Amino acid sequence: MSHLEIGLAGVMALLAVLFLRVPIAVSLALVGTCGYAAIDSWHTALGVVASVPFELASAYSLSVVPLFILMGAVASRAQMSRELFDAANAVFSGFRGALASATVGACAAFGAICGSSIATAATFSKVAIPEMRRHGYDDSVAAGSVAAAGTLGILIPPSVILAVYSLVAEQSLAKLFAAALIPGLILAALYVVAVVITARLRPQSMPRVAPMRMHERLRAARGMWKLVLLFFFAVVGIYLGWFSPTEGAAISAFAAILIGFATRALTLRALAEAFLESVFASAMLFFIIVGAFIFARFIVLTRLPNELVAWVSDARLAPLTIVLLVVVLYLVLGTALEEVSTILITVPVVLPLMVHLGYDGIWFGIFVTVMATVGLISPPVGLTVFVIQAQNPDIPAAKIYRGTLPFLVADFVLVALLIAFPALALWLPAVLKV
């Protein structure tokens, strides 16, 4: 067999073992190792297996991931999510669908200090869903809005997914954070529009809640100072040149701990739980990354990306046609894989093709992240849907999926905007000159 044939067989084998429910990290490492051995030798393949974990463990840029996870875990236990929800509710109070819109606003704000969609959805499932149900919201609207809004956690910086993408694609994390800000805010606004339209079409599903008085709005908004401070350390300080992304993540995580203890919202036991959560989440993520890098070494050895670029050039397909095919690819993979695995598996193959077509690697990072938000709420494997259903077992998964449909439309609108206007992602990095 030629190297290309082995590469194609490896991709098919990977999909097969994934559908057999073999753990993703094991699947990636196993197929990558066997494929490398088929092309070179077992001695070289085992050498790759031995070297990749060491290289990743010593990669300074990767240390940003557990630090951002820690910041989000501490912020969640310090009750910042409750304060953000109250502040967002004060903004939208008096409008039909105010609580659902407040959920979107609070999740967007929490995404600026968390970076994880799963953590964001799990946190606001406990905060927003009981409040909406108490005011008579339909279960599908309550759960669907939290599931969809939770996906903002991986798009609005700082984002763990963008940190992983920057490592795999060898792109600047500072540029990716800047590029994600405008699309993230646009998606949050589109989600609010989806809530407003749903409220007009189905007013019975979102009863109007009495508006808050001005002094109540101001009192609710006071809790935003914590978000502003942490976002400053985590993101703004990077563009002021005060510190690197890793240093910003460390300072913001430490600041979250200090704020939690200073406001007496964080206990030693809660801090210990946050550390344990960060360790477990980081270990799981790093295990997948190690497997993905072994698989990526195999893919590079087969020259499959180069052959794909050559095939596209010979086929003379229009760039838009190829982009639409890539959209379909991510839609299909998003129904079966979670977002980290999807990005780690596809980027080594698809990114060279997109660069060949003239698309920027930073733009592609935002594009695949937005596609990942679609996968998070798409059946049959929408992870945020499963998280919410696990915490609210009396709400059927089918009802949650039905509640996410208006937000899926908003996701596709943003995808179309990114394809039509790449400057939405590339303008801010150019202005900041990062």
On whether the CB atoms of residues 158 and 414 are closer than 8 A, the answer is no
**Three-state DSSP class for 138?**
coil
| Tokens describing residue 271 | 């801090």
C-alpha angle 267-270-274 in degrees, rounded to nearest 5: 135
What is the C-alpha to C-alpha distance for residues 194 and 249, in angstroms, rounded to an integer?
Answer: 33
What is the C-alpha to C-alpha distance for residues 396 and 322, in angstroms, rounded to an integer?
Answer: 37
3-class DSSP string for 55-122: HHHCCHHHHHHHHHHHHHHHHHHCCHHHHHHHHHHHHHCCCCCHHHHHHHHHHHHHHCCCCCHHHHHH
What is the C-alpha to C-alpha distance for residues 36 and 49, in angstroms, rounded to an integer?
Answer: 10
Per-residue pLDDT of the chain (434 residues; tens, 9 = 90+): 677 778 778 888 887 887 777 887 888 888 888 888 888 888 888 888 888 888 777 777 677 888 888 887 888 788 777 777 777 777 777 778 888 888 888 888 887 777 677 778 877 887 788 888 888 888 888 888 888 888 888 888 888 888 888 888 888 888 998 999 999 999 999 999 999 999 888 888 888 777 777 666 677 677 677 777 887 877 777 777 787 878 888 888 888 899 889 888 888 898 999 899 888 888 887 888 888 888 878 877 887 767 777 777 777 778 888 888 888 888 877 766 667 777 877 888 888 888 888 889 999 999 999 988 888 887 766 778 877 887 788 888 888 888 889 999 999 999 999 999 999 999 999 888 76
